[in-house]
């Protein structure tokens, strides 16, 4: 009985290490749309773009002033919606609601 437990634990540990080794293989480039009510203002537009492009994992930012939103492409192994929202809040930019994921 003890031998079966040891073998099961060894197999489980092997899967955990394998998953960690191949984590980069499962990384996904995500695209999300976020609502920014101040985005119609030119200074906010520039703040959103320049700030987010400095954030690790953000690949591109496209602002949509008419829709008061921005589309953000990012690496989901390096950042996520909560980090992006919090980072923008530190810059004085309000993000409303949750992200709308486009992929």
Mean pLDDT of 61-81: 94
What single DSSP character describes residue 40? G
Distance of CA 85 to the CA centre of its chain: 10
Domains of the chain with bracketed CATH: 27-101 (3.30.70.100)
pLDDT digits (tens, 9 = 90+) for 15-68: 656 555 554 556 689 999 999 987 666 777 888 999 999 999 999 999 988 889
Q: What pLDDT does residue 96 have?
A: 94
Q: What pLDDT does residue 65 have?
A: 87
Q: Would the pTM of this model clear 0.75, i.e. be above it? A: no
Nearest to 100 by CA among 76, 69, 79: 69
């Amino acid at each position: 009985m003890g031998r079966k437990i040891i073998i099961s634990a060894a197999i489980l540990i092997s899967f955990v290490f394998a998953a960690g080794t191949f984590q980069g293989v499962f990384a996904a480039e995500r695209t999300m749309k976020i609502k920014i009510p101040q985005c119609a203002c030119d200074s906010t537009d520039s703040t959103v773009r320049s700030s987010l492009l400095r954030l690790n994992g953000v690949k591109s930012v496209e602002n949509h002033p008419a829709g008061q939103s921005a589309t953000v492409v990012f690496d989901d192994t390096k950042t996520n919606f909560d980090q992006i929202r919090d980072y923008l809040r530190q810059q004085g930019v309000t993000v409303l609601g949750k992200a709308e994921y486009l992929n």
